[in-house]
Structure 1
């Protein structure tokens, strides 16, 4: 069963940030030689709540898929690219993800497809992770980004969202949103309710804004590293237990 990883890296100071910008070209050669990875992408991130067109020059990401969890954990720990980025970063955090559903395409393929498995895994407990990826049609980009501030404000104020970040391969046109929710009901309420996100989804469908799109859901297998001084999911579990 394939396993996905999202590795986030925070780079402090001018030198490390210039280095990682260069890595957006150089690291492609290393990842192309990483035979354990079935799919990989290098991404930048957005500022604010993460869902904005303004780049965050300090936060960068590597997303990849691997044949199984053991391979994924070993690759994140030992691969040349992950190791170099970790050594330069002020902190890093990786989530190990088990795809439970995926539809659509990313660069012409569905890297998280569960097709061919005897039965897609069913999540019965624990956080639910949502990933959406879209290639925005250039003629629709202004309309799309005009919607983003309202969506960003709502997700930032939502007490249910455990973690969220916006990443992307290309500013303005290739956008990935990644969020962690305590349960399916909380995620659905945000995504499909009569709020900014729900209205934006309706506009996307009516206006044919996306040239390509992918929607995936994952169960969490585990994490390694820290983000903003700790593990956001460990903090969530602590708060939940205290409540």
Structure 2
């Protein structure tokens, strides 16, 4: 079984640091800092109020980093210049280490490896992301608001954030649930289920991943 460990950070940046935060979002990919063991990294913006909106937020960001080992993930959390900047300029900052037990699909050609057995109890996280075909963008976004409303009113959802690599066309959702049962209840019912069925039947995505 793989030893991969992911690090997910969500940040709400202080208003006075908004411009500096946007600059980092735009240019962090050109940084000379290359953490050891990094397999994949995605620096993402967010919708308004950290939600699933076509209107961007200037102060909410997400950073997903995948490492080949727990040792390298821990070193990144301690040493990353971007995370240190977040710590100095955040209203709120949340960072969590994750191992995958179920993976479907790819992200920029990368397929995450399953590195842990399915948990029998306790909280779990879910990351879903998709590259939306331009011709399907309108259809996709007409389905998104009802699913978001359902999510906000669903029992058992502890954290939810809408993030993305690019506005409108490259979107992701990160959630933490109190249990597998709570996540399954949301995923298999209501507006979310209808949106997923429409996306699959309508071939909305050029690439997608569900972890």
Q: TM (normalized to structure 1)?
A: 0.81
Q: Deviations over 1:181-216 (max 9, x none)?
A: 1112211111112x1111111111111011100000
Query: 2:196 matched to which residue of 1?
Result: 201
Structure 2: distance between partners of 1:57 and 1:98: 30
- Output the CA distance in 2 between the equivalents of 1:72 and 1:98: 11
Look up the SS of the partner of 2:43 in the other structure. strand
Q: What is the match of residue 221 of structure 1?
A: none
Report the TM-score when normalising by structure 2: 0.92
User: How many Å separate the matches in 2 of 1:25 and 1:46?
Assistant: 16
Q: Deviations over 1:151-186 (max 9, x none)?
A: 111110112211111100000000101111111221
**Corresponding residue SS for 1:45:** strand
Cα deviation digits, residues 43-69 of structure 1 (max 9, x gap): 011225712222121111111011222
Matching of residues 35-184 of structure 1 within 5 Å: 35-48=36-49, 50-110=51-111, 112-114=112-114, 120-184=116-180
What does residue 30 of structure 2 align with? 29
CA RMSD between the two structures: 1.7
Gapped runs of 5+ residues in structure 2? none
Contact 1:136 1:211 in 2 (8 A): yes
Matched, 1:5 2:1: no
Equivalent residues of 2:50, 2:163 under 8 A apart: no
- Deviation of 1:76 after TM superposition, in Å, equals 1.0
Q: Deviations over 1:84-133 (max 9, x none)?
A: 232232331101111111110111111x222xx6xx42312211111101
Unaligned runs of 5+ in 1: 217-243
The separation in 2 between residues aligned to 1:133 and 1:11, in whole angstroms, is 23
Whole-Å Cα distance in 2 between the matches of residues 102 and 60 of structure 1?
Answer: 24
Q: How many residues align?
A: 209
Q: 1:212 maps to which residue?
A: 207
Q: Distance in 2 between matches of 1:3 and 1:31?
A: 22
Q: Kindly indicate whether the alpha-carbon contact (under 8 Å) linking 1:134 and 1:174 is maintained by their aligned counterparts in 2.
A: yes
Return structure 1 stretches of 4+ with deviation > 3 angstroms: none
